[in-house]
Amino acid sequence: MSVNFEERSGPVPCQTPWGQWYQTMEEVFIEVQVLPGTRAKDIKCHLGSKAVSLSVKGQDILKGKFFDCTVSDEGIWTLEDKKLIRIVLMKSNREAGNCWPSLLEGQYSADAWVQDQMQQKLTLERFQRENPGFDFSGANITGNYGGGGPDFSNLGK
């Protein structure tokens, strides 16, 4: 049985004071830890194409302009186990290499190492989609990202 690329490689999360966010080529995922026992009626969440506002019991948790545009009518949020708010956003710009360096403009930036890991993951995801029969799970991208491109020399070893 074939395991899909996402399950093999896993997300590259950017930790934040309220939880974490991570991305794929097409989507951005936000996970917000809230007090156990939180109910959906305690949550106010507005997902626009360019901005988000999230408050729980009247306290702002997340508010600002996204790093890039999203498809506003495809964003959703859920409350899981009364302690985790999960937001899924669809990127408007889904071109290969569209890696958000931060969730919001000037806020929740990935540090250099996490940003590099995110970019590598998206590059591998793109190569996997472009070459569906080839297994990239053992691929390594070496060097400073942004130069030359991926090095697949270790595949098949």
- Domains of the chain, CATH where assigned: 14-130 (2.60.40.790)
**How does residue 48 score in pLDDT terms, banded at 50, 70 and 90?**
very high
Longest dimension (CA), the chain: 55
H-helix or E-strand spanning residue 118:
helix 112-130
Contact (Cβ atoms closer than 8 angstroms) between residue 12 and residue 121: yes
Return the higher-pLDDT residue of 131 and 49. 49
Global confidence as pTM = 0.77
Return the higher-pLDDT residue of 25 and 78. 78
Task: Quote the CA–CA distance of 136 and 9 in Å, as a whole number.
Answer: 9
Return the higher-pLDDT residue of 7 and 35. 35
Q: What confidence score (pLDDT) does residue 155 get?
A: 52
The dihedral over CA atoms of 108, 112, 115, 119, expressed in degrees to the nearest 10, equals: 160
Q: What confidence score (pLDDT) does residue 88 get?
A: 97
Q: What confidence score (pLDDT) does residue 141 get?
A: 60
What is the DSSP track for 59-73?
Answer: EEEEEEEBSS-B-GG
What's the mean pLDDT in 137-156?
Answer: 52
H-helix or E-strand spanning residue 19:
strand 19-23
**How does residue 27 score in pLDDT terms, banded at 50, 70 and 90?**
very high
Percent of the chain with pLDDT over 70: 77
Question: How open is the CA angle 14-137-76, to the nearest 5 degrees?
Answer: 40
What's the mean pLDDT in 83-111?
Answer: 89
Report in angstroms the alpha-carbon separations of 146 from 15, 117, 123, 134. 23, 12, 11, 23
Q: What is the mean pLDDT of the chain?
A: 83
**How does residue 147 score in pLDDT terms, banded at 50, 70 and 90?**
very low
Return the higher-pLDDT residue of 132 and 66. 66
